Amino acid sequence: MIRVGIIGASGYTGAELLRLCAGHPALRVELATGDTQAGTRVASLYPSLSAAYPDLVFAGYEQGVADGLDVVFCGLPHGASQAIVPGLLGKVGRVVDLAADFRLRDPSLYPTWYGEAHEEPDLLRESVYGLPELFRDELSDARLVAAPGCYPTAATLALAPLVRDGLVDVQGIVVDAASGVSGAGRPPKPNTTFCTVDEDFTAYGLLGHRHTPEMEQNLSRAAGGADVSVLFTPHLVPMNRGILATCYARPTAEHTTEALLTRYRSAYAGEPFVVVTDGSPSTKATLGSNTVHVTVRADERTGWVVAIAALDNLVKGASGQAVQCANILCGLDETTGLSTVGVYP
């Protein structure tokens, strides 16, 4: 049995990790911290977890509380992991961080996009970006994995086959993506209350959303180091879960939709968590699963290529992705404990 700790277990990603670990045959949760809920039973905050964790209580985080565990997941707000992860490394087997603290390789990007300097730049060189479909070979020996979140995962998997094969111009890529409200986290905010979100559809983070450089970094690596520029606009939609990313790029030569779909099927052949579909991906089709649905179109009339991806932002866009990485780190089949089938209706 693999002994697991979840730092920041009281948030939505932490609750999803608890749910996934409860159904995992090899992961056993021995520690769940949540400073704002310390002393509260997990079942009281999340009744959906009552059957799996009737007696588990959220603990406060203290240095050393996770020592000796095999895998520690960090589900903390951005910036908090930088203070905790250095003290975990060497004291626990592996660390999988779900925040953006260790995702960007260039430390100079953090002041621009996150408003503050990175406190542990040396660890940026060590951390492995946890998107198995692109970087699986780098994961097995990692002691620190930075698991990507929902927007970068959706956009990267939608566009990677195009940029990797030089099928589109990597300058001026446009990503329009919509997210369910759970992507904003559990703590209440004025812009995520029911009365604000219900019956509304709004764009935010205009021209400066912090996930932009992460998308550019991923696509640059897929393109062999080419300079990639992305215009990213996120939107908030009145649903609990889901990401839908619609991406636009200019082709470098004439393509047909049929030929591009064939390329995508080849690129993702054997990938257990990617479905290439002839239809239009839908968020509900991925609900509760660790699967991404992708498609692509060539528009001869306008000269654009359109690539679309849908996923569950709390599973493949967060906690499921982290478990997928942990499976690889622990030598398990990466599909262990993860569903490829969505919940419907």
pLDDT greater than 90 at residue 188: no
The whole-number pLDDT of residue 189 equals: 87
Cα(3)–Cα(17) distance, integer angstroms: 14
Tell me the average pLDDT across 138-161: 96
Indicate whether 168 and 302 sit together in one domain. yes
Amino acid, single-letter form, for residue 97: D
Q: Which helix (H) or strand (E) holds 338?
A: none
341 assigned to some structural domain: no
Tell me the per-residue pLDDT of 73-121, one tens digit each, with 9 for 90 and over. Answer: 999 998 999 999 999 999 999 999 999 999 999 999 999 999 999 999 9
Does the residue 210 lie in any domain? yes
Mean local confidence (pLDDT), 237-242: 96
- Beta-carbon-side half-sphere exposure of residue 248 (alpha carbons within 13 Å): 11
- Is 338 part of a structural domain of the chain? no
Over the stretch 294-339, which tens digit does the pLDDT of each residue have? Answer: 999 999 999 999 999 999 999 999 999 999 999 999 999 999 999 9
Query: H-type helices in the chain, by residue range?
Result: 12-22, 42-45, 80-88, 109-114, 121-126, 132-135, 150-164, 194-197, 212-222, 257-267, 283-286, 320-329
Give, as one character, the DSSP assignment of residue 47: G
pLDDT band at 191 (very low <50, low <70, confident <90, very high): confident
| One domain for residues 320 and 300 | no
Are residues 325 and 280 part of one domain? no
Which pLDDT value is given to residue 145?
98
State the virtual CA torsion across 78, 180, 133, 9 in degrees, nearest 10.
Answer: 50
Write down the pLDDT at residue 134.
97
Q: Which residues contact 62 (CB under 8 A, 6 or more apart)?
A: none
CA distance 211 to 187: 21
- Shared domain for 227 and 170, answered yes or no, is yes
Domain residues for 70? 2-147+316-329
Same domain, 162 and 61: no
| pLDDT bracket for residue 135 (50, 70, 90) | very high
- Mean of pLDDT values over 145-157: 97
Active site residues per annotation: 150
DSSP state of 318: I
pTM for the whole thing? 0.96
- pLDDT at position 186 over 90: no
pLDDT at 161 over 90: yes
- Domain containing residue 251: CATH number: 3.30.360.10
